[in-house]
Each structure stands twice: as C-alpha cells, then as structure tokens.
Amino acid sequence: GATAAVGRCLFDLRSVAEEVAESWMPAAIRKKIDLGLELGAAPLRGDFFLLKELLSNLIDNAVAYTPPGGRIT
C-alpha cells in the first residue's frame, strides 16, 4: 500500500556502509581494532535512515564486544 512506500528510496548500500563504518573508526582505533569493509556496489531500495541506524547498531556492538586488537570485517 501507499504507507509501505513511505521512507523508501533507492541508494547504494556500499556508500551507506562506508559512511557508517567511517564514523566508528575513532572508537575502533582506540581499541586497536581493525575495522574493514569489503563491499561492491549494492543498489538497494529501502528506508535509508533505518538502514543507517541498523548498520550503526551492528558496528557499535561489534566494536563493543570485539576484544582489543581484534578484527571486524
């Protein structure tokens, strides 16, 4: 229905993931964690802001629960 389309747009998942990962780099560096991202172009239709929040929560948890000197990919 019309309400299901609210907030949906076409964007590249890679660019969103890179932006979110970059925002978590200072926290990863403080813990000496290797935070990497390997993702090709990935066009996606969805809610940009919810996806950005989801990725941020995932990386937040990964940084919080990865031991110092660890690796997140």
Among residues 13, 12, 69, 53, the alpha carbon closest in space to that of 61 is found at 53
Among residues 5, 1, 3, the alpha carbon closest in space to that of 47 is found at 5
Q: Which residue has the tokens 């809610």?
A: 47
Q: Across the strands, what pairs with 71?
A: 34
Rounded Cα distance, 23 and 44, in Å:
21
pTM score, whole prediction: 0.84
Q: What is the pLDDT of residues 6-57, one digit of tens each?
A: 678 999 999 999 999 999 999 999 999 999 999 899 999 999 999 999 999 9
- Position 6 scores a pLDDT of 61
Output the CA–CA distances (angstroms, integers) from residue 33 to 3, 10, 15, 37, in the order listed: 41, 32, 21, 13
